């Protein structure tokens, strides 16, 4: 079955760049639908960051658009998230999730998430 696994540094310094990867197993990312990044600050709700199609097309939430880059590496079967100029407000658990080929375009498969703390 398809599985997603996020990875990356758990600690990032303020003003630095947060870089995460999401490894896809059990399916080729080239045949996948849109893949999203979603984050959840401590004790708060879910925030959709953006998504990428295997062709490289992207959509980003307006509030983060100037700082976010999502990319796909087909050779490694993974997607990546970069968030620049981070502050403490970017401290969160970051999830990658894959859209299912179903009516309503739901995010049907999620990785376990990776916790990122922004602190000096």
Please, what sign has the CA dihedral across residues 107, 111, 113, 114? negative
Show contacts with another protein in window 63-92 (CB under 8 A): none
C-alpha atoms less than 13 angstroms from C-alpha of 47 in its C-beta half-sphere:
18
- Taking CB under 8 A as the binding criterion, the range among 11-19, 23-31, 42-50, 76-84 that sits at the site for another protein is 42-50
Q: Pick between residue 43 and residue 75 the one whose CB is nearest to another protein.
A: 43
Q: Is 61 in the site for another protein (CB under 8 A)?
A: yes
- Taking CB under 8 A as the binding criterion, the range among 22-30, 67-75, 78-86, 93-101 that sits at the site for another protein is 93-101
Which residue among 20, 91, 95, 118 contacts another protein (CB under 8 A)? 95
- The candidate with the shortest Cα–Cα distance to 65, out of 37, 100, 96, is 37
Tell me, by CB under 8 A, how many residues bind another protein.
25
Which residues lie below 8 Å from residue 68, measured CB to CB, with a gap of 6+?
Answer: 49, 50, 60, 61, 81, 82, 83, 84
Q: For residue 5, with 0-12 CB atoms within 10 Å meaning exposed, 13-18 middle and 19 or more buried, which class applies?
A: middle
Q: Is 23 in the site for another protein (CB under 8 A)?
A: no
Residue numbers of the site for another protein (CB under 8 A)? 36, 38, 45-48, 51, 59, 61-62, 95, 97, 99-100, 102-108, 110-113
């Amino acid at each position: 079955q398809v599985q997603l696994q996020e990875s990356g540094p758990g600690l990032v310094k303020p003003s630095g760049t947060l870089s995460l990867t999401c490894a896809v197993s059990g399916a080729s990312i080239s045949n996948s639908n849109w893949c999203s990044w979603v984050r959840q600050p401590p004790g708060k709700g879910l925030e959709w960051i953006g998504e990428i199609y295997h062709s490289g097309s992207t959509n980003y939430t307006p509030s983060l658009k100037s700082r976010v880059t999502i990319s796909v590496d087909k050779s490694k079967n993974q997607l990546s998230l970069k968030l620049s100029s981070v502050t403490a407000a970017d401290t969160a658990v970051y999830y990658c999730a894959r859209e299912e080929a179903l009516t309503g375009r739901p995010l049907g498969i999620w990785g376990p998430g990776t916790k990122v703390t922004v602190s000096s």
